[in-house]
Amino acid sequence: MKKVAVIGGGLAGSEAAYKIAEEGFQVDLYEMRPEKSTPAHRTGNFAELVCSNSLGGKEITTGAGLLKEEMKMLNSLVVKVAEEFSVPAGGALAVDREKFSQKITQTLEKHPNINVIRKEITEIPEDYDFIIIATGPLTSEKFSKKLQKLTGAEHLYFYDAIAPTVDAETVDYSKGFWGDRYSKGEGDYFNCVLTEEEYEIFYQELLKGEQVPLKEFERAVFFEGCLPIEEIARRGKQTLLFGPMKPVGLTDPKTGKQPFAVVQLRKENREGTLLSMVGFQTKLKYPEQKRIFRLIPALRNATFVRLGSIHRNTFIQSHRVLKPTLQLKKNPEILFAGQITGVEGYTASAATGILAGINVSRMLKGKEPVIPPETTMLGGLVRYITEPKEELQPMNPNFALLPDLDRKVKDRRKRKLLKAERALRDMERFAQEILFIFY
Ligand SMILES: Cc1cc2nc3c(=O)[nH]c(=O)nc-3n(C[C@H](O)[C@H](O)[C@H](O)COP(=O)(O)OP(=O)(O)OC[C@H]3O[C@@H](n4cnc5c(N)ncnc54)[C@H](O)[C@@H]3O)c2cc1C
């Protein structure tokens, strides 16, 4: 009987296979490239970076920076090799992408416990004790169909139409009011109010905003119905007022009247530290989003923890189908890792690969799988993708995912630093505990 199959040799699959192999278990690592590629990959290398060569910030006061420090404590292959082949990029960890993915490929190919199999998987393999699925945002079509069957068709999404998310602490609550349309519900929405003049300025700038060009393979997505906000605006000045900015059913308690226009913010997590701009999916370039969305008075000084985008992206509704250990609820021998779980970006994808690898290794040793502490960035991400919510939209590492400190600290930078230090202490303890139990 074979032991473990890892499907997909991207950032997550590479970490997962390496972790399990280093724990002394045999792994079959399946990768369809170079025989069959995705629309974004160019080589047959493992852990190929398909776009930017940056793995995000280095400082522990950035989401990606903290996550990388935590990953080092869990012996991350990706971070080790990234540091070895880093190129100067200010505060970011950027790499020579060729050397980076070549080194990871060599490491995995040479590993005595890893058997690399270059073929497209089109069925869930049967003769393994454990399977990790890490086929990424561009999972092949045939396998996507199998995943639809495995998770339920309604739980596999083929694209993300992401609206920006703001850090709730940075919203000016004097420029709007809490309340649901027609007072249905418990006042879950914050309505950012715009006067006619403010709307006019916002609308004109939205029309002028520079957009990210769509990739050829993303065009179909665009026409599937989820229109970017700037596209709605292009259909006429009134269209937004009947769409995502409609004020109908809302009364501003300050004036007793219906506002001219509103932008609704909805809580994205249990604590309400993240608020998403309802219906504001967009293809505007990132600096343009910040410039234009800050014209909304309540968001003048907002920090955007995630900006909007529309991408092709295959991902599961993890909050319905996965446990926080990354195991499939209905079939715990199957785990998911990487962007397909609803995390976003190279670093977060790789980090969930490590967790899947740790959990499979533990189960092979007859131990219980683990969940990282919620106070760590990895724990916060895993909690975010698996905790109950209406719909999961992908999430990158950011500080709003971390629980509050047990005392009030006014200064934002100081607060982040304290949260980061707590995360590293807790991750160190977690890493030691799982090491101790391993041996
Ligand atoms: C166009 C594009 C641009 C992006 N730009 C950035 C960026 O600049 N920065 C950033 O942080 N993130 C970016 N991302 C997100 C990025 O893809 C992910 O963050 C990261 O690569 C995901 O890691 P992963 O391991 O989950 O998937 P991947 O790295 O995509 O790895 C999945 C692997 O599975 C293989 N595979 C798929 N189907 C099968 C199958 N049936 N059988 C066998 N193998 C299979 C694929 O060939 C691939 O090697 C981008 C994504 C896309 C699509």
Interval 39-90: pLDDT, tens: 889 999 999 999 889 999 999 999 999 999 999 999 999 999 999 999 988 8
Residue 64 structure tokens: 């990606």
Cβ-contact 82, 100 below 8 angstroms: yes
* Angle at the Cα of 307 from the Cα atoms of 306 and 313, rounded to 5 degrees: 90
Cβ–Cβ < 8 Å for 99, 122:
no
- List pLDDT tens digits, range 288-307: 999 999 999 999 999 999 89
Is the CB of residue 341 below 6 angstroms from any atom belonging to ligand 1? Answer: no
Evaluate if residue 32 carries a pLDDT over 60: yes
What's the pLDDT at 187? Answer: 80
Residue 1's pLDDT band (cuts 50, 70, 90): very low
pTM over 0.85: yes
The yes/no answer on whether domain 2-161+312-438 falls in CATH 3.40.190.10 is no
> By CB neighbour count within 10 A (0-12 exposed, 13-18 middle, 19+ buried), where does 108 fall?
buried
Indicate if ligand 1 lies below 6 Å from the C-beta of 15: no
- Residue 388 clears pLDDT 50, i.e. is over it: yes
- Residue 5 in contact with ligand 1 by CB distance below 6 A: no
Mean pLDDT of 140-144: 95
Q: What is the structure's pLDDT at 439?
A: 46
Q: Is there a shared CATH topology between the 2-161+312-438 domain and the 165-307 domain? A: no
**113 Cα to the center of ligand 1, angstroms:** 24
The Cα–Cα gap between 31 and 394 comes to 24
- Does the pLDDT of residue 350 top 80, yes or no? yes
Confidence label for 223 from pLDDT (cuts 50, 70 and 90): very low
Residue 69 CB less than 6 A away from ligand 1: no
Query: With 60 as the cut, is the pLDDT of residue 221 above it?
Result: no
The answer to whether the CB of 136 is under 6 A from ligand 1 is: yes
Give the ligand 1 atom nearest the CA of 40: 1
* Mean pLDDT score, 389-394: 87
Residue 379 CB neighbours (<10 A): 23
**Ligand 1 within 6 A of CB of 179:** no
Cβ within 8 Å of residue 239, ≥6 positions away: 232, 233
Q: Among residues 125, 20, 16, which one has the least CA distance to residue 365?
A: 20
Q: Is 339 in the pocket of ligand 1 (CB under 6 A)?
A: yes
Nearest CA to ligand 1 atom 30: 136
CA of 15 to the centre of ligand 1 (A): 13
* pLDDT (average), residues 109-133: 97
What's the alpha-carbon Rg for the chain, to the nearest Å?
A: 22
pLDDT for residue 144 is more than 60: yes
Q: Using pLDDT thresholds of 50, 70 and 90, give the confidence band for residue 154.
A: confident
- Is residue 220's pLDDT more than 60? no
User: Which has the closest alpha carbon to 230: 282, 279, 276?
Assistant: 282
SS3 content of the chain, % helix, strand, coil (to 5): 40, 20, 40
CA–CA dist 213, 220 (Å, integer): 14
Counting from 1 in the atom list of ligand 1, the atom nearest the Cα of 37 is 47
Q: Residue 224 pLDDT more than 60?
A: no
Q: What is the DSSP letter of 403?
A: P
3-state SS, one letter per residue, for 245-260: CCCCCCCECCCCECCC
**The CATH fold of domain 165-307:** Elongation Factor Tu (Ef-tu); domain 3 (2.40.30)
pLDDT one-digit tens code per residue, 67-79: 999 999 999 999 9
What whole-number percentage of the chain has pLDDT above 90?
80
Does the beta carbon of 29 lie inside 6 Å of ligand 1?
Answer: no
Q: Where are the domains of the chain?
A: 2-161+312-438, 165-307
* Comparison of pLDDT for 352 and 393, the residue scoring more: 352
